[in-house]
Structure 1
Amino acid sequence: MIKYTLFLLIASSLFLHATSCILAKYHVYIASNLPTNSPPLQVHCSSKDDDLGYHTLAPGAEYQFSFCENPLATLFSCRFLWNGNDKGFHVYDAKWDHNRCIIGNRHGVCYYAVKPAGFFFTNKYPPKELDFLCGWDNNNKYFAC
Structure 2
Amino acid sequence: MIKHSLLPVIASSLLLKATVSEPNCFLAKYAVYVVNNLLPNSPPLQVHCLSKDDDLGYHNLTQNAEYRFAFCEKPLVTMFSCSFQWNGNARGFHVYDAHWRNNRCVHNGVCYYAVKSDGFYFANDYPPKNLKFLCDWNPNSKC
Please report the TM-score for the alignment, with normalisation by the length of structure 2. 0.80
Which residue of the partner structure matches residue 125 of structure 2? Answer: 124
Which residue of the partner structure matches residue 87 of structure 2? Answer: 83
Task: State the identity %.
Answer: 66
**Paired residues of 1:25 and 1:108 also in contact (CA < 8 A):** yes
**Paired residues of 2:111 and 2:123 also in contact (CA < 8 A):** yes
Q: Distance in 2 between matches of 1:114 and 1:20?
A: 29
2:69 paired with 1:55: no
Q: Distance in 2 between matches of 1:20 and 1:42?
A: 29
Distance 1:137 1:21, change over 3 A: same
Q: Distance in 2 between matches of 1:81 and 1:39?
A: 10
**Paired residues of 1:90 and 1:144 also in contact (CA < 8 A):** no
Which residue of the partner structure matches residue 68 of structure 1? Answer: 72
**Paired residues of 1:111 and 1:127 also in contact (CA < 8 A):** yes
Q: Structure 2: where are the runs of 5+ without partners?
A: 1-18
Kindly report structure 1 stretches of 4+ aligned residues shifted beyond 2 Å. none
Q: Secondary structure at the match of 2:25?
A: helix
Q: Distance in 2 between matches of 1:39 and 1:30?
A: 16
Which residue of the partner structure matches residue 133 of structure 1? Answer: 134
User: RMSD over aligned Cα, in angstroms?
Assistant: 1.9
Which residue of the partner structure matches residue 115 of structure 2? Answer: 114
Please report the TM-score for the alignment, with normalisation by the length of structure 1. 0.79
**One-letter code aligned to 2:120:** F
**One-letter code aligned to 1:127:** P
**CA shift for structure 1 position 20:** 6.7
Superimposed CA distance per residue, residues 51-100 of structure 1 (whole angstroms, 9 cap, x where no aligned partner)? 00000000110000000000120000000000000000000000000000
